[in-house]
Amino acid sequence: MAHAINWFELPALDLERAFAFYSQVLDGNVRKGTFGSGELILFNVPFGTGEAVGGSIVVRPDLKPSADGALIYLNAFGPLNMAVSRVENAGGKVLAPEIDLGKFGFAAILIDTEGNKVGLLSNEK
């Protein structure tokens, strides 16, 4: 395994609400899926080939959304300002609209509809 992170799960209380939020903010780059008997939301990245780290949004009794845990940065799937501009209309809150990371691109920090603090990352402002 070539990545420091191999998989992540963002907890949700309402999977449909979380799907609507991330679908709007990430411009449709999420999809619904299943694993075993449970439903989840996946990000449209090639994690099956090892080119990208995969992750999902899940509703599980042992996971609760939190703004106090680890901060995961998601691909903004395009210019950062476009994704940030959709956050509040999708029901989230922008905490830091643009952080210049120099040669590493640009980041933003938000609270999603489930109460998770999440970062967005892009090479495009």
Distance CA 75, CA 79 (A): 10
Position 1 scores a pLDDT of 57
- Tens-digit pLDDT profile for residues 86-117: 999 999 999 999 999 999 999 999 999 999 99
Residue 75's identity, in one-letter code, is N
CATH of 7-122, picked from 1.10.10.10, 3.60.20.10, 3.30.420.40, 3.10.180.10, is 3.10.180.10
Section 62-71 average pLDDT: 93
Task: With cut-offs at 50, 70 and 90, classify the pLDDT of residue 73.
Answer: very high
Q: Is residue 26 classed as helix, strand or coil in its secondary structure?
A: coil
- Tens-digit pLDDT profile for residues 14-63: 999 999 999 999 999 999 999 988 999 999 999 888 889 999 999 999 99
Q: Write out the H or E segment, with its range, that includes residue 21.
A: helix 15-25
For 18-30, b/e burial (b = at least 16 CB within 10 A) is bbebbbbbbeebb
Q: Is residue 90 classed as helix, strand or coil in its secondary structure?
A: coil
| pLDDT at residue 121 greater than cutoff 70 | yes
